[in-house]
Amino acid sequence: MHIEGLDELDNRIVEIIKDNARLTYSEIGAKAGVSRISVKKRMEALEKKGIIQGYKVVIDSTKIPEGVRFLLDLETTPECFEDIVEWLARCKHIRQIYSVSGDCAIHATGFVSNPKNLQIFVNTLYREANKGIRRMSCKTILSTLMDMDGGVDYERYQKSEYLETGAGFERN
């Protein structure tokens, strides 16, 4: 990953902590070829600028024996958009909510323990917010092919089995 606007050292530090944010400043410095003090100052500056927004535990929901990850796409009426976003934000099953291009469009991701609970969630959403939903689509996620934020980096630079040339799949 290369972040435009950052110098080479900041990009190296970000790349190192992207793989393991639990490393000490000394360990990061050893990998980046600088002192721990330099790493500490750089990371504090990146945090202050908001480039690094925090450090979090990433749960791999595919490792949970029973569970269903899902994508939810909603088109709402303008007057109900905010109410539906608030309803979704209060729901324990929803992990991320995005406002996307299109008329009052919402994209959300979530996780439930089993298919029955997904059906209950969808039915409850539709029942409680029906008058504000113009269109709803819910899909289960079968597998994760790439998730840079979640630690899965599909090897895009390999030749694609779907394209004869593999053009456009070079790694940056």
What per-residue confidence (pLDDT) applies to 66?
73
Asked whether the predicted pLDDT for residue 162 surpasses 80, the reply is: no
pLDDT digit string (tens) for 20-41?
889 999 999 999 999 999 999 9
Helices (H), the chain: 8-19, 25-32, 36-48, 81-90, 115-129
Sorted by where each starts, the structural domains of the chain and their CATH numbers stand as 8-48 (1.10.10.10), 61-140 (3.30.70.920)
pTM of the predicted model as reported, rounded to 2 decimal places: 0.58
- Give the pLDDT band (50/70/90) at residue 59: low
What per-residue confidence (pLDDT) applies to 60?
65
Q: Hey, is 138 helix, strand or coil?
A: strand
Q: Hey, is 111 helix, strand or coil?
A: strand
What per-residue confidence (pLDDT) applies to 12?
93
